[in-house]
Amino acid sequence: MLAPMDEGNNAAGSAQDISQMSFEQALAALETIVQQLERGDVPLDHSISLYERGEALRAACQQRLDAAQARIEKIVTGADGRVGGTRPLDSDG
C-alpha cells in the first residue's frame, strides 16, 4: 500500500492552488512528484495525474523565473548608449 502523499496528491484542483504557491513551494511540490514517479511504485492512473500536476508546477515555476529574469534585465542606458545603472526590480517603467 502506498503512503499518503503530501504535495502533488490532488491533480484535479491544481491550477488554483499552484497560483497561490510561492516559487519555492511550487518547486518543492514538483520535486516531491518527481521522487514519487521515479520510485515507480505509483499506479498508472495516479502516475498520469501526478505527471499532469508536475507539468503545471513546472510551467508555473518557469513563468515565475522568466518574469524575474525580465525584471532583472531592465537595464537603464544613457543617451550615449552606456549602461547607467539598473532599475529597481519592482519598477514598472
Report if residue 47 sits inside a domain.
yes
**What is the count of structural domains for the chain?**
1
Report if residue 59 sits inside a domain.
yes
pLDDT of residue 72: 75
Report if residue 93 sits inside a domain.
no
For position 72, which CATH number holds?
1.10.287
Report if residue 8 sits inside a domain.
no
Q: Which of 24, 32, 23, 21 is nearest to 54 (CA)?
A: 32
What is the mean pLDDT, run by run of 10 residues, along the chain of 93 residues?
41 67 96 96 96 97 91 65 64 56
Range of the domain at 67: 14-86
pLDDT of residue 12: 39
Report if residue 37 sits inside a domain.
yes
Contacts of 85 (CB under 8 A, 6+ apart): 76
pLDDT of residue 86: 63
Report if residue 60 sits inside a domain.
yes
- Contact in structure between 32 and 8 (CB atoms under 8 Å): yes
pLDDT of residue 79: 63
Neighbours of 87 (CB within 10 A): 14
